[in-house]
Structure 1
Amino acid sequence: MDNESETQVDSSASGRRDPGWKYGRLVNEKDLNTIICIFCEKVTKGGIYRHKQHLVGGYRNAKKCRKCSKHVREEMEEYMSSKKNQKEQMNMGSEYVNEDLFGLEDEDIGEEINSRTNVTNISSGGSNRGGSGGRTFSSKKPRQKGPMDHFFTPNAEMVVQNQRNGKMNQTTINDAYKKEARERACTLITRWMYEAAIPFNAVTYPSFQPMIEAIGQYGVGMKGPTFHEVRVTNLKKELALTKDLMKDHMVEWGKNGCSIMSDGWTDRKERTLVNFLVNCSKGTMFMQSIDASSMIKTGEKMFELLDKWVEQVGEENVIQVITDNHSSYVMAGRLLELKRPHLYWTPCAAHCLDLMLEDIGKLPNIKRTLERAISLNGYIYNRSGLLNMMRRFTGQRELLRPAKTRFATAFITLSRLHEQKNNLRKMFTSSDWLDSKWAKEQKGKTIANIVLMPSFWNTIVFCLKVSGPLVRVLRLVDGEKKAPMGYIYEAMNRAKDAIVRSFNGNEEKYKEIFNIIDKRWEIQLHRPLHAAGYFLNPEFFYDKPEIEHDADIMSDLYKCILRLTRDPAKQEKVVAKVSLFTNAQGLFGNELAVRTRKTRAPGDFVFDDDNLTWGDVARAAGAEEARFDTRARARASSSIIPPTRGIASSSRTLPSYSLIDEDEDGDMVDSADEEDGEGYKCGDGNDDDDDFVDLEEE
């Protein structure tokens, strides 16, 4: 007891408040790490924290004192437990806190740092030795983060945004070191991507750089997410985040309206699956995927399915329901319009255009040319040696070019054949071909005749003249960025104009093609929403005064106002505001509004009283477009309409042409003169027109 009281006095005198000092003494007053237990004379070298573990017992790193009295052990255990609770209360953000340092007195912290900052003597023999026999490396302890760092650590997304805006570009003396450290980190990141087969464009995702910034803010020693955290914990967090995002979209549905999109496709098990999505000015939100195999053939069943989704989203919020042109969908759409008189059923524009291309492909001359092109491709691609020969002559260019739809692929492949026309002719007249075994086969001779046949290439040029503009419109409506509702009408007009110019106005050459286009347009594709969107698009309206005097367009506009605006008083108000738009009065005549007619989204314009916006009128006609993009042209060679994710879009997976390898019947040799292949471009110095006939997709 004398030793105990003596130590307690020494502890008090030296200002040490930890009760563990009452039951231990220092071997050397200058060494706080080496303590002798007053009960068993056991020497511990881990500081006061390790000494308390020795007294309490049950710790892996300290042997339990056999002579310590029960009340001392209980005192130490209670003290250590209280300190642990204090640490947990102070730990407000574990990712910013070094949890091992909380609950320790000054001496404990010093001991913890000393125990972690090891000095290692490395000699050539691999053992620790003193003196000059080895080199000494010391690891410096990084700055410790406490609970206050949680409040002062900047948001990772904001840091990335500031870096992009150039607000954090500051040169320091550590730039050389940072460059080396970054290269080392990038090497490890990319190595992980290679091992996990992660696509390279993943580094362009908006979430990538904030992830890197958050890791850097944590500092040294961060442990990555576990399999369970990725699969369960954080997946649930993302689900909750998506539901929160859905709430914002639902508010937008009620405020400005929305479109329900039905996107059907067939999986490998031949099941018919239907994806339901809802599009509004905030973007497109995936809702659910349904196995519709048992109902896709019945119009009444599909009507019940569509009607259920209208009820779920809210009839008052729905402007239109978009489906493909399957007969069951057509019937379901008509039944839906009968039951719901204030919304539209709209067939998928991409599907309609694909059907146009299919009808054009059934014309005898075009059908025969497509079959010959398929036979040519099939013969080459089914023979690896011949395929390698073809690639040598074409400079490694392929003859096949897949597109988003079946018939677009066929016509784009014709474009590739026309591009390689001279190279293919060189190949089939070269010694490589003539000396090969394929030149002696009957099939090979037939294929060579096709390539050397003038009528084959003439018909390809004809196909490109009539299909090129339609493929461009197809790319417009099946794009990914924004809804093209206000552009389809103009796009179809320009496509037909491009076809007329490509034949120099010779109606006999394109009359049959126009009959096919007009039939599909009038019966399926054309809807009042398209005409209203065209009328309410300032990019076209103010450049073409004749739009206002087009009886069909004006009729469709008023049909939309009557159908989509239920309140008669609001109908009259919308009509009155439309007159302001047509006369460019009020805000529409403002200098800034005039200057930005071709660059701003229509919904951005606001009426004078701020109670009714241009977006209200546009949405009433179904012409609302997502505001996260503008109509600015991305580059001179791109389409006059940016590639968009339209409300008429379709990502249906359709079967492609199979490569057929068989003999052709009949005489394929034609001595007709060849037509200039450049004619299908039909350019007149206007880049807008060329955009509709360029078959190559970026």
Structure 2
Amino acid sequence: MDQKQQQKSEFCSSPLQQLALLILLSLRKMSSFGQNSTAASTQLQSQQSSRGKADIAWEHCVEVEGTKKTLQCLHCKKFIKGGGINRMKQHLAGKSGEVKKCDKVPYDVRFRMQESLKEFEEIKKQAKNQWEDNPFGAADLQEIPAPPSQAKGKEIATTLGKKRKASGLHNYFAPRTTPGSQPSIKSAMAGMKDIHEADLAVARFFFDSCIPINAINSPYFQPMIDAIAAIGSGYKGPTYHAMRTSLLKDLKKEVQLLIDSYRKVWEETGCTIMGDGWQDQKNRQLINFLVYCPRGITFVRSVDASDVVKDASMLCNLFKELVEFVGASNVVHLVTDNAANCKKAGKMLNDVYPTIFWSPCAAHCLNLILSDIGKLDIVSQLATSASLVTKFVYNHAFLLAWLRKREGWTEIIRPGPTRFATTFIALKSILDHKHDLQALVTSLEFKESRYYKDSKAKDVVAVVLDNKFWSNCQLIVKVVAPLMRLLRIVDGDERPSLGYVYDGMKGGIGNFVKVFMLLPIT
């Protein structure tokens, strides 16, 4: 060891000198740390300045040279002045209000822009909520991101309390079966012949099984096709045994869960029990019970009352069972037919549960009014004459073919075996064909045909050429037109109709029968 190293060792051996050396080394580290932090800060600022270029909207627009506030869309070549990239994104997403939407942007690009705007609004809303919760400002909040192994498939935390879901393919591509959506590559490459063969396979199944074509309008038809297409060509349909056992059991459980979710609505808003009696093709007397709430109508049960007498006590017991199933505190209303036994049963139920009120069905009441009007002699005579004309025309193919050649011809509605509104609908239909029928009986083809010599033809010609018949038909149709219009409203399932009923009563619907009796019908 030389002399300098020996002096340095003696200098460091002193405790005071060692402390001074440690302070000197600490000052040097702090100086180098400040330089490193300054460089890091400069690098962070450069990253933040270039972060805006990472927006997905920059792929579909460019900045105009000489200004940073004007952007040009690459699809429609439109210039967007002011607003920055967010306004350009609204232009691409087709969001109206602030900027005109782009008409030439592809569907997938528009879908991505819409999803990006939704994500931005959600992040903005979360940041606003955290600002309100933190009195010291959102800038003081920072969350430590989870390790990559734990953050996979979960929400990744970022600074300022913002959370963004991990990206996936569903964030960039729109659904393939919605109207206006872009098809997949495989379906796009399929030719018209392949698509036609697939359509024929679906149609062949419908026609072979005698399934009504209206089943295609079911909300479950397209999801079924989507589920099959998602699995691929290796999918095998369910067996007959699976359909009648496990699948039926699972769907029954699904319906039960849906009804259980409705029970919460019944408790919050109350509900109405509706009883509908009808007769099937086997002459069985059935009563369907449904529960109505603002969320929708739920079918509860169907009771076969063929082997019992449907008196008031029997109906009241059925109503009690249903009330106990739904919950006595949840039921506020009971709606049944206007029959005497149903009316008495509703009164008996009100005695047991004072909070449950009974009211007749508005559609049934209107049907009874039309039935009473149809029993009048003048109406029954008009219905008989109209039926005579209709049967004569439709029983002779030559006459029907002659009428179908008339411009604007539509089929005559023939009355069915019912006591309600069909009679008045048939009168309205034959009144609309007045000129066609008169042209038929006065035509040269009809007079020279052998049908003109038929014994029933004279009666038909007399009815068609009778002006009193047509004037009485027109009068009856005008009288019952408001009732028919109101019947269509209350007999629909699309919206609640009680408000329309009160509006019709306010307009004088209840006085139509009285006015009808005073009309000068000849």
Normalised to the residue count of structure 2, the TM-score between the two structures is 0.61
* 2:259 is the counterpart of 1:256: no
The SS at the match of 1:223 is coil
Could you report, residue by residue, the CA deviation over 1:216-248 in whole angstroms, capped at 9, with x for unpaired residues?
Answer: 211222212222222222112111111111111
1:369 & 1:268 partners in 2: Cα distance? 30
Equivalent position to 1:336, from 317, 326, 349: 349
The SS at the match of 1:289 is strand
Alignment of 1:544-693 (within 5 A): none
Deviation at 1:389, TM superposition (A): 4.4
Alignment of 1:326-365 (within 5 A): 326-365=339-378
Higher-RCO chain (CA-CA 8 Å, sequence separation at least 6):
1
The SS at the match of 2:287 is strand
Deviation at 1:511, TM superposition (A): 4.4
Equivalent position to 1:416, from 429, 442, 455: 429
| C-alpha spacing 1:172/1:441, structure 2 compared with 1 (3 Å) | closer
1:162 & 1:494 partners in 2: Cα distance? 50
* 2:235 is the counterpart of 1:222: yes
2:399 & 2:169 partners in 1: Cα distance? 58
Alignment of 1:361-440 (within 5 A): 361-393=374-406, 397-400=410-413, 406-440=419-453
For 2:188, the equivalent position in structure 1 comes to 175
Deviation at 1:210, TM superposition (A): 1.4
Alignment of 1:1-12 (within 5 A): none
* 2:470 is the counterpart of 1:470: no
* 2:295 is the counterpart of 1:282: yes
2:221 & 2:371 partners in 1: Cα distance? 42
1:485 & 1:309 partners in 2: Cα distance? 23
Could you report, residue by residue, the CA deviation over 1:161-197 in whole angstroms, capped at 9, with x for unpaired residues?
Answer: 674276x637869834476644442332233223333
1:439 & 1:155 partners in 2: Cα distance? 75
The SS at the match of 1:486 is helix
Could you report, residue by residue, the CA deviation over 1:474-520 in whole angstroms, capped at 9, with x for unpaired residues?
Answer: 011110212212221013334749x99xxxxxxxxx7433899xxxx
2:229 & 2:284 partners in 1: Cα distance? 47
Question: AA paired with 2:270?
Answer: G
1:179 & 1:471 partners in 2: Cα distance? 48
The SS at the match of 1:407 is coil
Does the 8 Å CA contact 1:403/1:412 hold for their aligned counterparts? no
Could you report, residue by residue, the CA deviation over 1:317-363 in whole angstroms, capped at 9, with x for unpaired residues?
Answer: 11211111122112112222222211111111111001111222233
Deviation at 1:460, TM superposition (A): 0.8
1:332 & 1:290 partners in 2: Cα distance? 16
* 2:178 is the counterpart of 1:164: yes
| C-alpha spacing 1:471/1:391, structure 2 compared with 1 (3 Å) | same
Question: AA paired with 1:355?
Answer: L
1:172 & 1:325 partners in 2: Cα distance? 60
For 1:315, the equivalent position in structure 2 comes to 328
* 2:248 is the counterpart of 1:246: no
User: Which protein is bigger by CA-based radius of gyration?
Assistant: 2
Does the 8 Å CA contact 1:361/1:367 hold for their aligned counterparts? yes
Does the 8 Å CA contact 1:259/1:322 hold for their aligned counterparts? yes
The SS at the match of 2:484 is helix
| C-alpha spacing 1:317/1:515, structure 2 compared with 1 (3 Å) | farther
Deviation at 1:301, TM superposition (A): 1.7
Does the 8 Å CA contact 2:390/2:414 hold for their aligned counterparts? no
Alignment of 1:140-151 (within 5 A): none
For 2:209, the equivalent position in structure 1 comes to 196
The SS at the match of 2:302 is strand
Could you report, residue by residue, the CA deviation over 1:359-403 in whole angstroms, capped at 9, with x for unpaired residues?
Answer: 222333333212221232233334455444444457662211679
| C-alpha spacing 1:404/1:353, structure 2 compared with 1 (3 Å) | farther
The SS at the match of 2:248 is helix
| C-alpha spacing 1:447/1:181, structure 2 compared with 1 (3 Å) | closer
Equivalent position to 2:462, from 440, 449, 452: 449
For 1:273, the equivalent position in structure 2 comes to 286
The SS at the match of 1:481 is coil
1:391 & 1:170 partners in 2: Cα distance? 44
Question: AA paired with 1:291?
Answer: D
Does the 8 Å CA contact 2:338/2:361 hold for their aligned counterparts? yes
1:453 & 1:279 partners in 2: Cα distance? 50
The SS at the match of 1:482 is coil
The SS at the match of 1:345 is strand
The SS at the match of 1:316 is coil
Does the 8 Å CA contact 1:320/1:343 hold for their aligned counterparts? yes
For 2:515, the equivalent position in structure 1 comes to 512
Alignment of 1:106-121 (within 5 A): none
Question: AA paired with 1:262?
Answer: G
The SS at the match of 2:420 is helix
The SS at the match of 2:498 is coil
Does the 8 Å CA contact 2:335/2:361 hold for their aligned counterparts? yes
2:232 & 2:437 partners in 1: Cα distance? 60
Question: AA paired with 2:516?
Answer: I
Question: AA paired with 2:515?
Answer: E
Higher mean C-alpha displacement, 222-231 vs 465-474 = 222-231
Does the 8 Å CA contact 1:263/1:324 hold for their aligned counterparts? yes
Does the 8 Å CA contact 2:176/2:184 hold for their aligned counterparts? no
Where does the alignment leave 5 or more consecutive residues of structure 1 unmatched? 1-147, 501-509, 517-671, 673-698
Does the 8 Å CA contact 1:394/1:423 hold for their aligned counterparts? no
For 2:22, the equivalent position in structure 1 comes to none
Does the 8 Å CA contact 1:273/1:289 hold for their aligned counterparts? yes
2:313 & 2:183 partners in 1: Cα distance? 67
| C-alpha spacing 1:170/1:438, structure 2 compared with 1 (3 Å) | closer
| C-alpha spacing 1:475/1:495, structure 2 compared with 1 (3 Å) | farther
| C-alpha spacing 1:493/1:338, structure 2 compared with 1 (3 Å) | same
2:249 & 2:187 partners in 1: Cα distance? 41
Normalised to the residue count of structure 1, the TM-score between the two structures is 0.46
Could you report, residue by residue, the CA deviation over 1:556-595 in whole angstroms, capped at 9, with x for unpaired residues?
Answer: xxxxxxxxxxxxxxxxxxxxxxxxxxxxxxxxxxxxxxxx
The SS at the match of 1:457 is helix
* 2:199 is the counterpart of 1:186: yes
Could you report, residue by residue, the CA deviation over 1:238-293 in whole angstroms, capped at 9, with x for unpaired residues?
Answer: 11111111111122111211111111111233221111111112211111111113
1:174 & 1:221 partners in 2: Cα distance? 17
Please give the root-mean-square deviation of Cα atoms over the aligned residues, in Å: 3.4
2:206 & 2:311 partners in 1: Cα distance? 47
2:169 & 2:503 partners in 1: Cα distance? 45
Deviation at 1:420, TM superposition (A): 0.6
Does the 8 Å CA contact 1:394/1:420 hold for their aligned counterparts? no
Could you report, residue by residue, the CA deviation over 1:518-560 in whole angstroms, capped at 9, with x for unpaired residues?
Answer: xxxxxxxxxxxxxxxxxxxxxxxxxxxxxxxxxxxxxxxxxxx
| C-alpha spacing 1:174/1:489, structure 2 compared with 1 (3 Å) | closer
Does the 8 Å CA contact 2:176/2:183 hold for their aligned counterparts? no
1:433 & 1:281 partners in 2: Cα distance? 59
The SS at the match of 2:333 is strand
2:185 & 2:176 partners in 1: Cα distance? 18
2:470 & 2:504 partners in 1: Cα distance? 28
Does the 8 Å CA contact 2:286/2:302 hold for their aligned counterparts? yes
The SS at the match of 2:499 is coil
Question: AA paired with 1:513?
Answer: F
The SS at the match of 1:325 is coil
For 1:85, the equivalent position in structure 2 comes to none
1:174 & 1:482 partners in 2: Cα distance? 39
The SS at the match of 1:459 is helix
2:446 & 2:238 partners in 1: Cα distance? 59
The percentage of aligned residue pairs carrying the same residue is 35
Q: Which has more helix, going by share of residues?
A: 2
| C-alpha spacing 1:174/1:186, structure 2 compared with 1 (3 Å) | closer
Does the 8 Å CA contact 2:277/2:286 hold for their aligned counterparts? yes
Equivalent position to 1:491, from 501, 504, 516: 504
For 2:121, the equivalent position in structure 1 comes to none
